[in-house]
C-alpha cells in the first residue's frame, strides 16, 4: 500500500521526533514539488514549538496589529510597538512569509487564530491537504490577546440558557461539547504535540452582590440537570480564606472544569502541530475576496490565487462581514487587559491559584501569571480607549478588589477587539455550496477552549463523521444591519440601559 507525503511526514514525526523530521523535510519537499508542483516552504520545524520564558522580557512586537488596537509598556520610549505580555513571555517565533504563486489545496483556512489553527490541524490529522493564511502574523488578533480564561458554555450561553433552548438530550450533548470536551481537547493536543502553554485547572465565579448568589445556585442546579457535577457553591468566608483574599465578594461558584492558559502559546502550539504534519502556512497574506468557480472555490489574495477543492473555513473573527453577504449578526467591541509588575507574593492574593470572574455588570477577570504578576482585565467599549484611560481604569479596579496592595503598578497593558451576538451564543454557519464555506464568529469574549473544539467539529463535519457542527448551526441569530458601524453608538446604549436596570435592582445578575 502506498504512503502519501502527509502520511510519511506524520509517521516520521511520531517515530523520529521533530529533530529528525526537520532534517528530512528538504528531501520530502523536493519530492513533493516534483510530484505536485506546489509552492511548499522548506522550514525547520523546531523553532515553531512555543517556548515559555521564566518571565516576560521587554521587546518590540513582531506581530502585525490592527491599527485600532495598541500595546503599552511602562518603559516604552519610542514609537515602536512593544510586545504585549504574552508575546514578551515567549521566545521569538519565526514568521512564515507570503506565498509567491498560485496554489491549490483541498481546504483553505482563512485566519490564523485558534479556530483556524485548530481546524487546519484536525484536517491535517485526517490527511487532508490544507493551506492556512493570515493577513497579519499568527496571534496578532484576539486569539493572542485575550484574558486566557477557559470557561464552559457557548460564548455567553451557560447551562440554564442551553436547557431553555434545547431538549434535555440535545442540551446535554451541547453542554458536554462546550465544557468537558473543549477542555479535554486542549489537553490532548498539548500532550500529542509536546508543547507547553501554562495550562491550569479550575475557575471561580465570584458574586459581587448578595443577590447574585441565587443565580449562581441556579447555574449549579442547571448543570446538575445536564449531568455536570463539576461545580460547587461556597460562602464568603471560605472564599476569602481559601480561594481569593478579597472582602468584596459574597460567595462564589468553584468550577473544576474551567481553567486558564497562555493563549498565544496555545495558538502557536496548534500551528506547530499543523506544520509538523506538513501543513502550509502563510502570514502577511491578506485575502481580498472569495468566489465560486466551476470546480473549486477561489480565494483571491494580494499575492495570488488559492483554489480549494473541498471547503473554505473563515476564522477571521471581527472581519467576517468582509466575506459574507447580507446583514451581520455581530457587533464588535473593544476590551482590555493589563499585567502588573512582579508582586511580593501572588499567593497572598489568590491562594487557590484559580482565575476569577465576578458578576458585576462590567465584569472584572483576573489570574496569577508567571513571575508573581497579576493579569487583570475588563471593560467593553464601542471605541478604543487610550492606554492612559485603560491603565487608570484597571488600576482602580485592582485597588478595589485588593485594597491592601501597596501602590500596584502596571507593566503591560493592551487592547483587543471581540464581537458579540444579540442572543449571546456563537454564530456558526455552513453555506449550501458544492464547496461549502464554514464560518464561526460572535464569541463575546468567551471562547478560548471552545474555538479549539469547534475547529475539530468543522473537520468532523467535512468528512461526515458526526453532526456536532450541525448542532451549532441550529441556533437562531438576529441580523444586525451595519453592525460594525453601529458599535460606537450601540455599545454605550446597551451598557447604559443595563446600568439603569442594575441600579434599580442590583440583585439582578446581568454581565456585559
Q: Specify the DSSP element, H or E, that contains 175.
A: helix 168-176
**C-alpha distances in Å from residue 509, one per residue of 226, 361, 498:** 22, 7, 10
> How many residues in the chain?
512
Residue 440 is predicted with a pLDDT of 93
Residues of the chain with pLDDT under 50: 1-40
Strand partners, 205: 253, 357
Backbone dihedral region for residue 350 (phi beyond 0: left; psi -120 to 50: alpha; all else: beta):
beta
- What pLDDT is stored for residue 323 in this prediction? 78
Output the pLDDT for position 483: 63
Q: What is the pLDDT of residue 136?
A: 92
What is the structure's pLDDT at 433? 86
User: What does residue 57 show for φ and ψ, rounded to 5 degrees?
Assistant: -125, 125
* CB neighbour class for 100 (10 Å; exposed up to 12, middle 13-18, buried from 19): exposed
* Residue 29: predicted pLDDT: 33
Q: What is the pLDDT of residue 181?
A: 98
3-state DSSP call for residue 139? coil
What pLDDT, on the 0 to 100 scale, is given for residue 482?
65
Closest residue by Cα to residue 183 from 75, 259, 125, 121: 259
Q: Is there a contact between 282 and 136 (Cβ–Cβ < 8 Å)?
A: no
Residue 509 phi, psi (nearest 5):
-95, 105
Residue whose entry in the numeric block shows the C-alpha cell 501572588? 346
Amino acid at each position: 500500500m502506498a504512503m502519501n507525503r502527509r502520511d510519511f511526514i506524520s509517521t516520521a514525526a511520531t517515530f523520529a521526533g521533530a529533530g529528525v523530521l526537520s532534517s528530512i523535510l528538504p528531501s520530502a519537499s523536493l519530492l513533493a514539488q516534483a510530484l505536485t508542483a506546489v509552492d511548499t516552504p522548506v522550514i525547520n520545524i523546531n523553532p515553531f514549538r512555543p517556548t515559555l520564558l521564566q518571565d516576560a522580557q521587554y521587546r518590540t512586537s513582531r506581530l502585525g496589529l490592527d491599527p485600532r488596537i495598541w500595546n503599552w509598556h511602562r518603559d516604552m520610549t519610542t514609537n515602536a510597538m512593544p510586545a504585549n505580555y504574552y508575546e514578551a513571555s515567549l521566545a521569538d517565533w519565526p514568521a512564515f512569509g507570503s506565498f509567491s504563486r498560485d496554489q491549490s489545496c483541498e481546504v483553505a483556512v482563512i485566519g490564523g487564530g485558534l479556530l483556524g489553527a485548530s481546524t487546519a490541524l484536525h484536517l491535517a490529522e485526517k490527511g487532508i491537504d490544507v493551506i492556512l493564511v493570515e493577513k497579519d502574523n499568527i496571534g496578532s488578533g484576539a486569539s493572542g490577546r485575550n484574558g486566557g480564561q477557559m470557561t464552559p458554555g457557548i460564548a455567553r450561553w451557560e447551562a440554564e440558557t442551553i436547557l431553555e433552548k434545547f431538549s434535555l438530550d440535545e442540551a446535554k450533548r451541547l453542554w458536554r461539547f462546550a465544557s468537558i470536551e473543549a477542555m479535554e481537547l486542549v489537553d490532548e493536543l498539548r500532550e500529542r504535540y509536546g508543547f507547553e502553554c501554562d495550562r491550569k485547572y479550575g475557575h471561580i465565579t465570584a458574586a459581587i452582590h448578595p443577590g447574585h448568589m441565587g443565580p449562581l445556585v441556579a447555574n449549579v442546579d442547571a448543570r446538575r440537570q445536564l449531568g455536570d457535577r463539576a461545580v460547587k457553591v461556597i460562602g464568603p468566608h471560605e472564599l476569602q480564606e481559601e480561594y481569593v483574599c478579597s472582602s468584596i465578594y459574597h460567595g462564589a461558584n468553584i468550577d473544576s472544569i474551567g481553567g486558564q492558559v497562555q493563549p498565544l502559546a496555545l495558538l502557536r502550539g496548534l500551528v506547530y502541530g499543523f506544520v509538523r504534519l506538513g501543513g502550509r502556512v502563510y502570514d502577511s497574506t491578506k485575502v481580498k475576496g472569495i468566489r465560486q468557480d466551476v470546480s473549486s472555490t477561489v480565494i483571491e489574495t494580494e499575492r495570488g490565487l488559492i483554489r480549494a477543492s473541498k471547503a473554505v473555513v473563515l476564522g477571521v473573527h471581527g472581519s467576517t462581514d468582509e466575506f459574507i453577504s447580507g446583514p451581520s449578526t455581530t457587533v464588535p467591541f473593544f476590551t482590555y487587559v493589563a499585567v502588573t509588575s512582579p508582586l511580593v507574593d501572588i499567593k497572598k492574593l489568590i491562594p487557590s491559584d484559580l482565575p476569577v470572574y465576578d458578576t458585576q455588570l462590567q465584569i472584572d477577570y483576573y489570574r496569577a501569571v508567571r513571575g508573581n504578576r497579576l493579569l487583570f482585565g475588563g471593560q467593553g467599549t464601542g471605541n478604543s480607549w487610550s492606554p492612559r484611560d485603560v491603565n487608570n481604569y484597571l488600576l482602580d479596579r485592582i485597588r478595589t478588589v485588593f485594597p491592601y496592595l501597596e501602590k500596584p503598578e502596571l507593566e503591560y497593558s493592551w487592547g483587543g477587539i471581540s464581537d458579540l451576538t444579540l442572543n449571546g451564543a456563537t454564530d456558526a454557519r455552513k453555506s449550501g455550496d458544492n464547496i461549502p464555506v464554514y464560518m464561526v464568529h460572535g464569541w463575546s469574549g468567551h471562547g478560548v477552549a471552545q474555538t479549539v473544539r469547534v475547529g475539530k467539529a468543522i473537520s468532523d463535519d467535512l468528512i461526515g463523521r458526526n453532526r456536532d457542527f450541525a448542532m451549532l448551526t441550529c441556533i437562531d441569530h438576529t441580523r444586525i444591519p451595519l453592525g460594525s458601524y453601529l458599535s460606537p453608538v450601540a455599545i454605550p446604549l446597551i451598557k447604559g440601559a443595563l446600568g439603569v436596570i442594575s441600579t434599580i435592582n442590583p440583585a439582578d445578575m446581568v454581565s456585559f
